[in-house]
Amino acid sequence: MSGPTSRGDLVGRARRRVDGRAKVTGQTVFADDLLPPRTVFCKLLRSSVPHARIAALETTRARAAAGVLLVLTGQDFPEAYGILPVSQDEHPLCRDVVRFVGDPVAAVVARDEATAEAALALIDVTYDVRHTFAEPQDSLSTPEPRIHDYGDEGNVHKKVALQFGDVDRAIAGADHVFDDVFHYAGNTHLPIEQHATVALRDPDGKLVVYSSTQTPHYLHRALAKALGLPAAHIRVIATPNGGGFGGKSDPFNHEIVVARAALDLDRPVKICLTREEVFFCHRGRHPVLMRFRTGVTADGRITGMDLQTLLDGGAYGSYGVASTFYTGALQTVTYQVPTYRFRGCRVFTNKPPCGPKRGHGTPQSRFGQEVQLDKIAERLRIDPADLRLRMVAPANTLTANYLKVGTIGLAACITRVVERAGWRGKHGRLPYGRGVGLACSSYLSGAGLPIYWNAMPHSGVQLKLDRSGGVAAFCGATEIGQGSDDVLVACVAEVLGIDPHDVRPVTGDTDLTPVDLGSYSSRVTLMMGNAAIQAAERARDLVAEAVARTLDVPVSRLVFAERRVFDSEDPARGLPFAEAVSVAEAAFGTIGATGSYTPPASAARFKGGGVGPSPAYSYSAAVVEVEVDPETGWIVVPRVWIAHDIGRALNPVLVRGQVEGSVYMGLGEALMEEQAFRRLPPRLSSALVHKFPSMLEYKSPTSLDMPEIVTDLIEDPDPAGPFGAKEVGQGPLLPVMPAVANAVFDAVGVRIDEVPITPEKILKALQAAAQGKPARYGPAAFPEIAWPETLLVAPPWEGGDGTASNEPARRPRKATSPGSGVRS
């Protein structure tokens, strides 16, 4: 017997987001707005040297200072933690070694912030200074002293090598071989909200931590481990984030420190980082040097691609192992790549650790790939749009590296931006100094695997319905500005046929809400959305059953719409939603329902195959127009056209906001943003400092620097997504940077093979061209790296089964995800 139907009218309609009123009226309570009674304040003493052993740490004077309540050091924190199980390399406060300027060594808690800050100066630290690693090449060639005592070797954190098919033969047999080296500078998230945390004991004595975190569940686990407490006695509440972009995805030292302090003092303890400290937390874009060797046929089809990447990881592991894999994971999902080899290497340096920033590990190599495609198109005299259209990867297939791709709206995206931008009349046809560039991209709608191995759902939603007609929706997902609360509410209200304002979202609270892994990897809409739909359908079916009895109408004829439950054959016959729930409550008792989501099992069965799989992939294409002054290199971007394959837009206002925000962030990365450092002359100093940890000197575009943006949404519902939706938070960022580089070439005929693309670099390339040298600015070479044995995996079309032929037998994992696919 078929169930009731829903005729919600929310999905696809442009709506005001559910948390909009609170945000624009200033009523959203961020972490730094919290000030419970008896709060005391924490400040961290941070290392002033880039790399040293702590020879002595004297805190007596600080402890004795008036108003100081507690001083903590590394000795108070024996347990290591870290976001990845394989990189448990952080301590809340450094115990023996400091690894960058800004690494915390001690904490002071005092009655007010000024007292705490003043007391920091009373702590004496003696450092035995060690070699300063400023550049990844230095870390590669200098194994001692080691920044960490773990990792693949010396100061190399991780090396990976994967091969899918005989790439050497495919490249050797190609009509043309393109061999290009690119560099992508590091840059940072720059959320408007600085990280803040308030920790306290609740009246039962248990720990409560309010924090601006994107990942309350992972923070929960890290707190339990680092503090040695049962997780059941810790409650993490993720306050709404004033922007995250990946920068609030790690458990942070300051969060664990104030938690410890709150337990010790039995008082609320608060910390709010300064902007400078946010630059030290970082976990932003890895600087990546990369080399693409690509074989192509005379008509521009790829025969094989051989990619090497070198990541400057900074001082800690963070998500770095995943980041390393991500630099080579998604090359195959946009265009047909029959054979592929990827080798990546991450090294440690004495700088703030790098990690996940919007696009996590993929924008760097996407930049190289899309700029190289532009070079291929130019050499082969094929229009760059046509070159790409000819080889768009087919939908519903497995790629060479065993990524299961569902719907692909890439061709539609390219076609749309080409038409909207007037590409055919502009590319190669604008006067010297003006140009257009095209680039494409793809991104995951959620990582297929969690951070730690387990077989449990990635997202859970619990609903409570009662006679009021109101619905409470509980989910561990975190609102970081992207609109996840709105997605949760929309999915529930759509299924129940009620108004979004009838649904109260309760999110990001580890005591109250079912686990959701967090707001990262563009996973929330798809995973939480599917869980919410399942929960809402289960609740709807319960209500329908009771209503069917009351009205004496078959369940299959019942419709949920317009806050009513009614007979589709006689719409006047029905109950208001509140009465419908009352009937159900009378019949079945308290009404609740749960839903959960686990991604489908990956087809990849080789080591490293866990990074890249996703239930669905979004696609984007962008055309950027530039004006370049050949006299000065000055560059202006007047217009951007972008099309994004969203599957289905649940709320087009939010989707467009994400697309335009991505263009904004992408232009910042393309044109100016750089996490730059100063290494003082080594003969005089060991200092290595962030060049400008401030929002004034770390340049990010202002509203005056923003171009006109024309946004198009391509809607081809993907069966894996809630109502067909795919991700939008990260994908549309990726094509912007290569499209700018390609537009510069179209404007003035020089290649800028790195970001940021600055006037100085453009002018240098123009001067090189005028002197008869290569018309290019960028890195000269990729270093020789001793790669480990490459795992050999035959692609699906060569009869492969997703395993590596030369991999030692792997311990079967008990915790394999169920293969059910969607809602489990």
User: Which spans of this chain sit near another protein (rule: CB under 8 A)?
Assistant: 46, 48-49, 101, 113-114, 117, 274, 276, 627, 629, 631-634, 636, 672, 678, 680-681, 684-685, 687, 689-694, 696-697, 699, 701-705, 758-760, 763
Q: For the chain, give me the number of helices (H) and strands (E)?
A: 19, 35
In the complex, what is the shortest distance from the CB of residue 320 to another protein, in angstroms, rounded to a whole number?
24
Shortest distance, position 124 Cβ to another protein, whole Å? 13
Are 465 and 507 within 8 A, CB to CB? no
Query: Tell me, what DSSP letter sits at residue 590?
Result: S
Q: How far is the CB of 672 from another protein (least distance, A)?
A: 6
Of 470 and 759, the one with the shorter C-beta distance to another protein is 759
How far apart are alpha carbons 420 and 641 in whole angstroms?
Answer: 7
Could you tell me where the beta strands, DSSP code E, fall in 521-597? 558-561, 564-567, 570-576, 591-597
- C-beta of 438: minimal distance to another protein in Å? 23
The minimum distance between CB 630 and another protein, in angstroms, equals: 12
Q: Distance (Å, rounded) from C-alpha 393 to C-alpha 302?
A: 11
Q: How far apart are CA 573 and CA 424, in angstroms?
A: 58
CB of 32 to another protein, least distance (A): 14
Q: Which is nearer to another protein, 55 or 455 (CB)?
A: 55
- The distance of closest approach from Cβ of residue 35 to another protein in the complex, given in angstroms and rounded to an integer, is 16
Residue nearer to another protein on the CB measure, 471 or 626: 626
- CB-based contacts of 385: which residues, under 8 Å, 6+ apart? 414, 418, 423, 427, 438
Q: Where would I find the H helices in 195-294?
A: 216-227, 253-265, 275-281
Q: Which is nearer to another protein, 79 or 760 (CB)?
A: 760
**Beta carbon nearer to another protein, 290 or 688:** 688
Structure tokens at 397: 């297939």
Closer Cβ to another protein, 117 or 579, answer by number: 117
- Residue 746: helix, strand or coil by DSSP? helix
- DSSP letters, 447-463, are -SS-SS---S-SEEEEE
CB of 629 to another protein, least distance (A): 7
Contact 567, 551 (CB under 8 A): yes
DSSP 734: T
Nearest to another protein of 8, 435 (CB atom) = 435
For residue 756, whether the previous peptide bond is cis, meaning omega lies within 30 degrees of 0, is yes
In whole angstroms, how close is the CB of 773 to another protein at the nearest point? 17
211, 200 contact by CB (below 8 A): no
Could you tell me how many residues make up the chain? 824
Closer residue to another protein, CB minimum distance, 572 or 684: 684
- Check whether the bond before 145 is cis (ω within 30° of 0): yes
- Distance CA(479)–CA(141), nearest Å, equals 43
Choose between 126 and 694: whose C-beta lies nearer to another protein.
Answer: 694
510 neighbors 497 (Cβ within 8 angstroms): no
Q: Decide whether 43 or 91 has the Cβ nearer to another protein.
A: 43
Rounded Cα gap, residues 403 and 219, in angstroms: 29
- Supply the minimum distance, in Å, between the C-beta of residue 689 and another protein: 5
